[in-house]
Structure 1
Amino acid sequence: MPDTAVSTRPSRPFADLHRAPDADQRGGAAGREDLGSLPEWNLNDLYSGTQSQDLQDDLERARGQARQLREDYEGRLAGLNGDTLAVAIERYEAIEEVLGRLMSYAQLVYSGDMSNPEVGKFYQGMQESVTEISTDLVFFTLELNNIPEDALEAKLESEKLRVYQPWLRDVRAFRPHQLSDELERMLHEKHVSGRSAWVRLFDETMAALRFRLHGEELTSSEVLNKLTSHDEATRKAAAKTFGGTLGEQVRTFSLITNTLAKDKQIEDSWRAFARPVSSRNLANFVEDEVVDALVGAVRESYPKLSHRYYRLKAKWMGKDTLPYWDRNAPLPEDDDKVVPWQNARETVLNAYAEFSPRMAEVGQRFFDDNWIDAPTRAGKAPGAFSHPTVPSAHPYVLLNYQGRTRDVMTLAHELGHGVHQVLAAHQGHLMADTPLTLAETASVFGEMLTFQRMLRNETDPKRRKVMLAAKVEDMLNTVVRQVAFHEFERRVHDERKNGELLPERLGEIWLETQREALGDVFLFDEEYQYFWCYIPHFIHVPFYVYAYAFGDCLVNSLYAVYENAHGDFADKYLEMLQAGGTKRHRELLAPFGLDASDPNFWHQGLGLIERFIDELETFD
């Protein structure tokens, strides 16, 4: 999906709900036999194959319908009455859903094996075909935005059109940044040979990299997992080979980053966005001031959160300082227990069921119907995500499951996304999607439910300490690290306005933002300057990362309400998820008495992390 504010959107990119790697690289040296039978997804619910007749038929049908829609309505939308405009939107939505199904399938196939040239060719071909077809649809949202406000209000007296009022509200939010019809069409058409091509280059470069460790050639997911090994020599060797190998490719990654930052700067300038982050904030329907308050609150809390925790961790490990490869090291008391897949499944579903049987019922379908792809394998996308696809189908979850407790948390996270996507599907293709900030709410809440249940059931003090420490590290990765990523991204985009940034400068910004976030307890060797290279969010979805901190702090506040709530909390929560994209964050949080525009809201959320650290200090 291009960043173009008003162009037609054939599908959500697979990265939109793809957790930032440093937030969820869950380690583990377990062999596949220890994990049990890991599921692989069945994409036949979308299409039976890359060359299947059903896929070709949908392509041709969408091509004809898009052309016909343009012939029927281009230049005429403003003159339609409310009922007739509703019919036009229904036709537009149906075409968009077919295009969304096509691109969702292509993206999922590609995520399963990014290193296969034939798969890459199929993915590129689908992008080109869908972009060509959807060019006939670009006029639609442009003309909707050109309808005067009073004229649209008159049309909205139609009951049929009022169904689409939330979507019209969101489309028209981009009116101040809309360009001429010709420019919008040109930007849409060239996306596939511009930004999209650079994103593909990044994906395929990362997927092709192999990291040599102890005589083995490992993928990025596999080598990053070694950073949680109990053996310090293994952690160090993994960190060295990872950073060193990224360093060998740093010129390519720097070129991609510089090119995409310049591309964004040009488009933002034409669209009159005040700051590089502003277009993302508008897409998330959250005010710049709210994001600034979040980022400010987190940075202000670095000393009492991350700095304090990692000093505590250094003491537990018998050290005065920590080399950077010890950041995700297990505690000495951690028995490195392997969690088989079946146990992970039961743990998460039981936690969901305790909160709401409906949540567990929806989550169960992901396991029963092969909607999850769990094993690690060469060429597969790293990290984890839940792709919503389209309402007429269902979401798919990608994991790289390796049997650690943190992998269980990742399953709980992505299943939270999946449940949210299923519950919101009834809103239809145009209104099921949720802004990124609120999309992370369901996932992080699913994690919190799972963690709290596991903690309540654990009576051994050493195990409780290990669990609490792991949760704190997850929360620091989700809040502190992601805000540090945001700061890196902000500084890169700001400096790019004055010219291309050399690889050395990118490394300097990375080290400066990491030192600020993690504190002076850490020592960073030379190769750590290259670790920025592998974060896909910088490339796929600029300024995505603050959504994790937004979601985590929001959930911490929401969970505090839940702990003191009466019996109707679960019902209210499910209603919030079912709303999809029809409501903004103020409306969704109002039933819980929460307001994200209040600066105290963020400090309340950060306070939960602080309390967990307080409890950990009692174990000394």
Structure 2
Amino acid sequence: MKVRDEVPDKYKWNLEDIYKTDDVWKAEKERIQEAMQQMGKYKGKLTQSAATLLEALELNTSLAKEMTRLFSYASMKSDQDTRVTKYAGMKQELQQVFAQYSALTSYLEPELLASLDENKISQFVSQAKGLEVYQFYLKDLLRKRAHRGSEEVEKVMAYSSLMSGNASTIYSTFFNAEFPHPEIEIDGKAVRLNPANFALYRESKDRNVRKKVFETYFGKLHEFHRTFGAQLSGNINAALFATKARNYNSTLERALDADNIPTGVYHNLVKNVNDNLATFHRYLNLRRRMLGVDTLHYYDLYAPLVEQVDLSYTVEEAIEHVLKSLKPLGEDYIAVAKRAFNERWIDMYPNEGKRSGAYSNGSVYDVHPYILMNYNGKYNDVSTLTHELGHTMHSYLTNKKQHFANANYSIFVAEVASTFNEELLNDYMLKQIKDDRTRLAILGNYLEGAKGTLFRQTQFAEFELMIHDKAAKGEALTGEDFDKMYLELTRKYYGHDKNVCIVDDNVKSEWSYIPHFYYNFYVYQYATSFTASTALSEKVLKGSKSDLEKYLNFLSSGSTKYPVDLLKDAGVDMNTSEPFDLTIAKINKVIDEMERILTRLGK
């Protein structure tokens, strides 16, 4: 693990594209704080004319764009090294600015709701063409009328944001900057099990190392289960407050209503996956067979499936494979992807204090998207790289085509673009590789994706549903409660009682290091997107030019329609079971091929 200054600049993102220096950031923040006071002059006058409404919405959008840019800079600076308190402080400053601005504009939506109906919106759009950009927003606002309050209520809700994110902030700071990550000895060397090293060494070929890594890491997490429990419980309570204040029946309904997604989509996903756990168990039995163990344990789930094949790639090799795999998407798509690699849009390697995991940030509208990686040189890292590049291309294409007001696409569709790229990478690699053992490794990686994205994320989604329902009933939620619920659910998914995969007791602590539980019903979208991208990739790889055009149009549509409608335009109807059924069929097909190869190899 290097310190940041030891990483060559070409592997670090260039945040100077956003602001040249921290002083420039500070000056811009002060300018925005002064400029946002202008929003007050529209109070009571918003709907006097189409021109006035357009002027107010344009100013509101411009300020939101610049505040988002300010926050993105501070956030990414902080993520480079979470131990640097300066940037954590800058993030806090922006959170206060957002709260102040929300309070200042708390009149906006109540005033619009009091004065507008669909006829008046249409009339105003005809009088001021610039309002066409805001037509979807205005009509969606009318749809949510029952969940909006008076100006005073909206002001209270705005100021509540100063507290509502505290649990998540405390968790992130504690886990990334102050958590005492344990040390273990591996091959005679002391290794600190930070998140990046945990992800690396849980893939060890040595089963004893894997077992030791899981026991040590989860054991240390368990030492703080009371603290983690209080943090997560605080986050759920914040969601409950917003749910009751907004007149929703449940935290799930509130979370999904933002994108007009029926709660049935969520419940159907959980039901469909539970009904098809036999397919998941089939994969787990295949993994047991390939590892050559009598009994599969949870600490075996990340071990390389094919011991003789070392699927390791330098960053340069990874870039080459990713770019070649994207050929079905056309030269224009590839040209922009090359810019991401060549113009320092990506922060590639782990360093001391760096935020764990990976993400793409496309919110700096007037610049370009950024990618945070913690590249470790494995095939899974190559897959993660193309996954995040999918997000980046989605943001880039949307930002180029759409007004900022319509550029913030839903997470429900965001994960389609990323998992689609993973499908293309697997397809490309399989076409290049004829060696049985290497094919086993690539096919196995697809199944790993299915395990992690469809089954594991749905398990997380079901866990979220359970803990939110428990809190809604007024029941206590402590670290011990989370432990018990998580362990029981994990054992159900992995067939513990059927001896498919033994989920050891220490796995009960895994929930405490999953940051997505602070996002409130976020993870289910990984699973729904996985099924949607499976269906779409089949169309693009085997279909006509029009299928590709529809997909690229989807990537540049932003939030001009509801997510389910956007996917329908792209060629996938999420109101049917077809995407899920196609995905289960593909998983079984991959398992079939792997079993044939194993038989051919005499295993």
Give me the TM-score of the superposition, normalised by structure 2.
Answer: 0.92
Percent identity (aligned): 29
Residue 586 of structure 1 and its aligned partner are, at CA, apart by 4.2
AA aligned to 1:317 is L
Give the distance between the partners of 1:181 and 1:124, measured in 2 at CA. Answer: 25
1:365 aligns with: 339
1:366–1:372 contact (8 Å) kept in structure 2 = yes
Code of the aligned partner of 2:210? R
Q: Does 1:48 align with 2:20?
A: yes
Post-superposition offset of 1:561:
2.0
Supply the distance in 1 between the matched residues of 2:434 and 2:95 (Cα, whole angstroms): 53
1:108 corresponds, among 76, 84, 96, to 76
Instruction: Give the Cα separation in 2 of the matches to 1:380 and 1:505.
Output: 31
Does 1:246 pair with 2:221?
A: yes
Task: Say if 1:442 and 1:577, in contact at 8 Å, map to a contact too.
Answer: yes
Choose 115-124 or 368-377, whichever is displaced more. 115-124
Amino acid at match of 1:321: T
Q: Could you list the runs of 5+ residues in structure 1 that have no partner in the other structure?
A: 1-28
Counterpart AA for 1:113? D
Matching of residue 265 in structure 1 with residue 236 in structure 2: no
Q: What are structure 2's unaligned runs of at least 5 residues?
A: 599-603
Tell whether the 8 Å contact from 2:19 to 2:25 is kept in structure 1 after alignment. Answer: yes
Q: 1:160 to 1:398 in 2, by over 3 A?
A: same
Distance (whole Å) between structure 2 residues aligned to residue 599 and residue 334 of structure 1: 39
Task: Please name the residue that 1:74 is paired with.
Answer: 43
1:580-605 per-position Cα deviation (integer Å, ceiling 9, x unaligned): 11122343234454311113332223
**Is the alpha carbon distance of 1:88 and 1:256 closer, same or farther for their aligned partners in structure 2, counting shifts above 3 Å?**
same
Return closer, same or farther for 1:140/1:597 CA change in 2, 3 Å cut-off.
same
Determine the structure 2 residue equivalent to 1:527: 506
**3-state DSSP of counterpart to 2:171:** helix
Q: Give the stretch that moved more between structures: 568-577 or 56-65.
A: 56-65
- Going from structure 1 to structure 2, the CA distance change for 1:578 and 1:594 (only over 3 Å counts) comes to same
Q: Report what 2:120 is aligned to.
A: 151
In structure 2, the CA distance between the partners of 1:75 and 1:532, relative to structure 1 (3 Å rule), is same
Aligned mates of 2:504, 2:81 — CA distance in 1:
33
Deviations 1:288-343 (A, max 9, x none): 12222222212211112x11100111122222321211011112435223200001
Could you say which residue in structure 1 is the equivalent of 2:164? 195
Is contact 2:133–2:403 with CA below 8 Å preserved after alignment? no
Which amino acid in 1 is paired with 2:537? Y
1:84 aligns with 2:52: yes
Q: Distance in 2 between matches of 1:586 and 1:220?
A: 35
Conserved in 1, the CA contact under 8 Å of 2:74 and 2:91? yes
Partner of 1:220: 195
Contact 1:226–1:234 (CA<8 Å) still a contact in 2? yes
- Corresponding position: 1:537 with 2:511: no
Q: Secondary structure at the match of 1:322?
A: coil
Q: Is the CA contact (8 Å cut-off) linking 2:461 and 2:521 kept in structure 1?
A: yes
Tell me the secondary structure at the aligned position of residue 286 of structure 1: coil
Q: Which amino acid aligns with 1:447?
A: E
Aligned to 1:96: 64
Taking the aligned partners of 1:446 and 1:318, their CA distance within structure 2 comes to: 32
- The separation in 2 between residues aligned to 1:175 and 1:112, in whole angstroms, is 41
Please report how far the alpha carbon of residue 358 of structure 1 lies from its aligned counterpart in structure 2 after TM superposition.
1.4
CA–CA separation in structure 1 for the residues paired with 2:476 and 2:112: 38
1:480 positional shift: 0.4
1:513 corresponds to 2:485: no
Q: Does 1:599 align with 2:577?
A: yes
Pair 1:564 & 2:542 matched? yes
> Hey, what does 1:398 align to over in structure 2?
372
SS in structure 2 at match of 1:213 = strand
How far apart, in 1, do the equivalents of 2:164 and 2:391 lie? Answer: 27
Which of these residues, 222, 226, 230, is aligned with residue 255 of structure 1?
230
Give the letter aligned to residue 419 of structure 1. Answer: M
Equivalent-residue separation in structure 1 for 2:524 and 2:8 (angstroms): 35
CA separation of 1:384/1:301 partners in 2, compared to 1, >3 Å: closer, same or farther?
same
Q: Distance in 1 between matches of 2:432 and 2:10?
A: 26
Q: In structure 2, what is the Cα distance between the partners aligned to 1:592 and 1:363?
A: 22
Deviation at 1:502, TM superposition (A): 2.5
Q: Deviations over 1:190-239 (max 9, x none)?
A: 322x1222211100111122121212323122123211111112111110
Counterpart for residue 204 of structure 1: 173
Separation (CA, whole Å) in 2 of partners of 1:224 and 1:565: 37
Cα distance in 1, alignment partners of residues 554 and 63 from structure 2: 27
SS in 1 for 2:11: coil
The aligned amino acid for 2:482 is L
Is contact 1:508–1:529 with CA below 8 Å preserved after alignment?
A: yes
Measure how far apart 1:446 and its partner are. Answer: 1.1
Paired residues of 1:561 and 1:592 also in contact (CA < 8 A): no
Is 1:350 aligned to residue 324 of structure 2? Answer: yes
Q: 1:446 to 1:255 in 2, by over 3 A?
A: same
More contact order relative to length (CA 8 Å, sep ≥ 6): 1
Change (3 A) 1:39 1:494: same
- Structure 2 CA distance for partners of 1:317 and 1:343, relative to 1, 3 Å: same
CA distance in 1, matches of 2:192, 2:440: 35
Amino acid at match of 2:158: H
Q: CA RMSD in A?
A: 2.1
2:349 is aligned with 1:378: no
Deviations 1:246-302 (A, max 9, x none): 111111110011111122112212222222211221123322122222222122111
- Residues 306-325 of structure 1: matches in 2 within 5 Å? 306-325=280-299
Could you say what secondary structure the match of 1:77 adopts? coil
What secondary structure is seen at the aligned counterpart in 2 of 1:75?
A: coil
Deviations 1:41-76 (A, max 9, x none): 1101111233x1x22332222222211121x21122
Is the 1:42–1:370 contact (alpha carbons within 8 Å) kept by the matching residues of 2? yes
Helix, strand or coil: the match of 1:505? helix
Judged with a 3 Å threshold, the aligned counterparts in structure 2 of structure 1 residues 143 and 390 are, in CA distance, closer, same or farther, namely farther
Is 1:387 matched with 2:361?
Answer: yes
**Contact 2:45–2:52 (CA<8 Å) still a contact in 1?**
no
Q: Which amino acid aligns with 2:51?
A: D
8 A Cα contact 2:77 2:87, kept in partner: yes
Aligned to 1:120: 88
The corresponding residue for 1:57 is: 27
Q: CA deviation at 1:38?
A: 6.4
Task: Report the residue type matching 1:517 in the other structure.
Answer: Y
In 1, distance between residues paired with 2:561 and 2:515? 29
CA contact (8 A) 1:479 1:549 kept: yes
- Work out the CA distance in 2 between the residues paired with 1:276 and 1:131: 22
Query: For the Cα contact (< 8 Å) 1:437–1:550, is it kept in 2?
Result: yes
Partner amino acid for 1:45? D
Given residue 229 of structure 2, which amino acid in structure 1 is its aligned partner? S
Confirm or deny that 1:419 pairs with 2:419. Answer: no
Q: In structure 2, which of residues 452, 458, 461 is the aligned counterpart of residue 486 of structure 1?
A: 461
Partner of 2:601: none
Secondary structure at the aligned position of 1:397 is classed as strand
Q: Which region of structure 1 is more displaced relative to structure 2, 96-105 or 142-151?
A: 142-151
Q: Distance in 1 between matches of 2:308 and 2:161?
A: 48
- Partners of 1:396 and 1:418 within 8 A in 2: yes
SS, match of residue 164 in structure 1 = helix
Distance 1:391 1:609 in 2: 38
The amino acid of 1:168's aligned partner reads L
Tell me, yes or no, if structure 1 residue 585 matches structure 2 residue 563. yes
**CA 1:163 to 1:120, structure 2 compared with 1: closer, same or farther past 3 Å?**
closer
Aligned to 2:261: 286
Asked if 1 retains the 8 angstrom alpha-carbon contact of 2:78 and 2:87, the reply is: yes
Q: Is the 8 A contact 2:133 2:405 kept in 1?
A: no
One-letter amino acid matched to 1:157:
S
Counterpart of 2:423 in structure 1 is 448
Contact conserved, 2:147 with 2:248, CA < 8 A, in 1?
yes
In the alignment of these two chains, the number of paired residues is 583
* AA matched with 1:609: I
Is the aligned partner of 1:468 residue 2:443? Answer: yes
CA-CA distance at 1:613 after TM superposition: 1.7
Corresponding position of 1:331: 305
